[in-house]
Structure 1
Amino acid sequence: MVSLELPSAVMAFNQKPVRAVLLDISGVLKNCVDGKDVAIKGSVDAVNRLKASGMPVRFCTNETTTTRSALVKKLQAIGFKVEEDEVFPPAPATCLILKQRGLRPHLLIHPALEPDFKGMEQKDPNCVVIGDAQESFSYQNMNAAFQTLIALDKPVLISMGQGKYYSEDNKLVLDVGAYKAALEYACGIQAEVVGKPSQAFFLSVLSSMNAKPEETVMVGDDIESDVGGAQKCGMRGVLVRTGKYRPSDEQHPKVKPDSIVDNLAQAVDILLKTK
């Protein structure tokens, strides 16, 4: 594992040229404090400096508690210069998969995300789609999803991400992965994951900017989905000590970050010095 010492971190970026950057959003760009989005110190300027350098940047998120357009507006409201075609959440990719495969979803998602699935045929469902439904993860709603799956000859469960938890109001809260695991266990199936750490999801983001994995760095606060997922795809994974980060992440038994930095601002400092 690369330490936080600046020379070692620089070595991680110097392994190969960096020609593109993927950034997580929650925990890297912003935090939720008292129910409001707040930019992490230095992150707005860091994004501006990256873009000014000519470096292609995409925002790769597992955010499923709001639509992509609403998410972009929230980011813009707290100072980020971000366009909708630069932001890649799981919902649009999930809708495309549903249409391509003729799937009719039973949705267990946050109410604010429902507009992204508008027009999707949902009668007589032949699959279940789950996202971070938060309070909607009630026993009644989980049981309805279970009953839909168990009644199918070939049950299909699509999970928009598989995170275990995330940080909200300086507390760790359960993420969609915990509920995905419950449905998998109850039905004896394995979910299809759309979003990080899915390799197909990462590759679709890279394709949008004609970037090669070996020349791309992913910066995130999730040791498994962000860092581990990126590394399995051939990218370098940088862990920030913000958001959901915990000191124990640095001793993860399977994932060793290419670099660990205090925050996005430090990552960009190093990246631009070694560009």
Structure 2
Amino acid sequence: MAAWGERLAGVRGVLLDISGVLYDSGEGGGRPIAGSVEAVARLKRSGLRVRFCTNESQKSRGRLVGELRRLGFDVSEAEVTAPPPAACRLLQERGLRPHLLVHDEVRSEFDQIDTSNPNCVVIADAGEHFSYRNMNRAFQVLMGLADPVLISLGKGRYYKETSGLMLDVGGYMKALEYACGVEAEVVGKPSPEFFRSALRELGVEAHQAVMIGDDIVGDVGGAQRCGMRALQVRTGKFRPSDEHHPEVKADGYVDNLAEAVDLLLLHADK
């Protein structure tokens, strides 16, 4: 690997994953990862542009930001790029009326969307709502369409809560793909358009940005395919085998966000 100075030179903007990088979600709002609250504050004081880029689809942005602020993070709703608003834009642009297989907490994000007589299915991390009945209903909607459209708010395999690893939306998305013979359109990481949208909101070019995440495929691989650099933290869903992934290699591995910020403040935008 090249020296850190070479790997981080010219960085002007930072995209931060939330779950597994800033905090581990869970009962009572979760808990911050050691050093992450101050690390975010230091980044913001540094003059580097910062944006939060998450696949969270069990909570509205408002609730997510409220939880983060209670944990001490300096973050506003306007600084967060998340899948539900992006999905709503896509639905409106294409005149799609979704059958929603989503968590109750994010249904409000779709309040302005026509859901009558569905001509597509939107699936997200529905948590306990991933019952056979609900999955079968989504299956029936798709099978009843001449041109079935399945939109997924992410394709993660799992994530980490304070109680341990939790199954994510990706497995359920794959089940519907297999059963219906369709390929899902992913809105969220690692979708290139999702990263490009975050970069536009950040106001920097891909080669000037670095993504910091805990997911070797969704965060690191997705960002690199868009021309960004990417660091993987050894927190959240990180597994030691990630450092030997057969297809994706991060531009650097760090123990946590605090270490990543130390390196950025020393070498970025040089």
Within 5 A, what are the aligned runs for 1:1-275?
2=1, 8-14=3-9, 17-275=10-268
Is this contact kept in 2: 1:23–1:58, CA < 8 A?
yes
Cα RMSD for the two superposed structures: 1.2
Give the SS at the match of 2:264.
helix
Q: Give the secondary structure class of the aligned counterpart of 1:208.
A: helix
Q: How many Å separate the matches in 1 of 2:267 and 2:79?
A: 24
Identify unmatched segments of 5+ residues in structure 2.
none
Deviation at 1:83, TM superposition (A): 1.2
Contact (CA 8 Å) 2:31, 2:162: kept in 1 or not?
no
Q: Secondary structure at the match of 1:97?
A: helix
- Mapped contact 1:146–1:186 kept (Cα < 8 A): yes
Q: 1:9 & 1:71 partners in 2: Cα distance? A: 33
* Partners of 2:150 and 2:185 within 8 A in 1: yes
CA distance in 1, matches of 2:27, 2:92: 38
TM-score, scaled to structure 2 = 0.97
| Matches of 1:94 and 1:67, distance apart in 2 | 13
The superposition leaves residues 8-34 of structure 1 with CA deviations (integer Å, 9 ceiling, x where unpaired) of: 4444213xx001000000000001254
| Change in 2 beyond 3 A, CA 1:64/1:33 | closer
Deviation digits for residues 70-120 of structure 1 (CA, Å, limit 9, x no counterpart): 111111111011111100110001011111111000000001111111132
Q: Is the 8 A contact 2:230 2:251 kept in 1?
A: yes
Shift of 1:208: 1.1
Count of aligned pairs between the two proteins: 268
2: CA distance, partners of 1:153 / 1:259: 46
Q: Alignment partner of 2:96: what SS?
A: coil
TM-score (norm 1): 0.95
Alpha-carbon distance in structure 1 between the residues aligned to 2:38 and 2:202: 22
User: How many Å apart are 1:37 and its aligned residue?
Assistant: 1.6
Sequence identity of aligned pairs in percent? 56
SS of 1:106's equivalent in the other structure is strand
Cα distance between partner residues in 1 of 2:24 and 2:3:
28
**Contact 2:30-2:162 at 8 Å conserved across structures:** no
Q: Which sections of structure 1, spanning at least 5 residues, go unmatched? A: none
CA distance in 1, matches of 2:202, 2:133: 42
SS at match of 1:185: helix
Contact 2:30 2:161 in 1 (8 A): no
| Contact 2:60/2:106 (<8 A) preserved | yes
The answer on whether the counterparts of 2:123 and 2:151 sit within 8 Å (CA) in structure 1 is yes
CA distance in 1, matches of 2:57, 2:15: 18
Counterpart code for 1:115: S
**Whole-Å Cα distance in 2 between the matches of residues 128 and 257 of structure 1?**
33
Aligned-pair distance for 1:186? 0.5
Paired amino acid for 2:225: K
Distance 1:62 1:110 in 2: 13
Cα gap change, 1:81 to 1:254, in 2 (>3 Å) = same
